[in-house]
Structure 1
Amino acid sequence: MADFESDYTKFMREWKQKHPEQAEEARKGRALWWDKPPRDLDTQRREQEAKVATKSYYYDAN
């Protein structure tokens, strides 16, 4: 059973071999959307102090 490989896995392996430039594009996309630079401690402290407590019932007007 360890030799099984799905059609999708085969397709992606072949596609990556035919389009090696896409690996760099994927890294750029990840950096754009997910990888954030570390913030300094002062910025973290100011963000923490600026937080407003959320009400237990969000739609309550009072």
Structure 2
Amino acid sequence: MYQSDITQFLNQLKQQKPSLEAEQRKGRALLWDKQPIDLEERAEQKASRVEQTPYSYYQNF
């Protein structure tokens, strides 16, 4: 059965480093997977936010 060079490389890499997929999942969880949003905390943060002027360098003189 034919296997491309890339497939052979990946299979060899997985044999040499069996923890590779677990490390990839851990990295994905760190960067992409988000915790569910707490709606009460979100509302509290929004209510405590200070309104900012559109252009903060020029204040009302």
Q: TM-score range by the shorter chain?
A: 0.5 to 0.7
**Alpha-carbon separation, structure 2, partners of 1:6 and 1:41:** 49
Superimposed CA distance per residue, residues 7-62 of structure 1 (whole angstroms, 9 cap, x where no aligned partner): 11221112112211222211111111111111122327x66xx8xxxxxxxxxxxx
Task: Structure 1: give runs of 5+ residues left out of the alignment.
Answer: 51-62
The residue type paired with residue 28 of structure 1 is K
The CA deviation at 1:5 is 3.2
**Alpha-carbon separation, structure 2, partners of 1:37 and 1:10:** 37
RMSD over aligned CA atoms reads 2.5
1:36 equivalent in structure 2: 34
- Following TM superposition, where does structure 1 have runs of at least 4 consecutive aligned residues deviating by more than 6 angstroms? none
1:18 equivalent in structure 2: 16
The count of corresponding residues between Structure 1 and Structure 2 is: 45
Q: Taking structure 2 as the reference length, what is the TM-score of the superposition?
A: 0.53
The CA deviation at 1:4 is 4.7
Larger radius of gyration: 2
**Alpha-carbon separation, structure 1, partners of 2:38 and 2:3:** 45
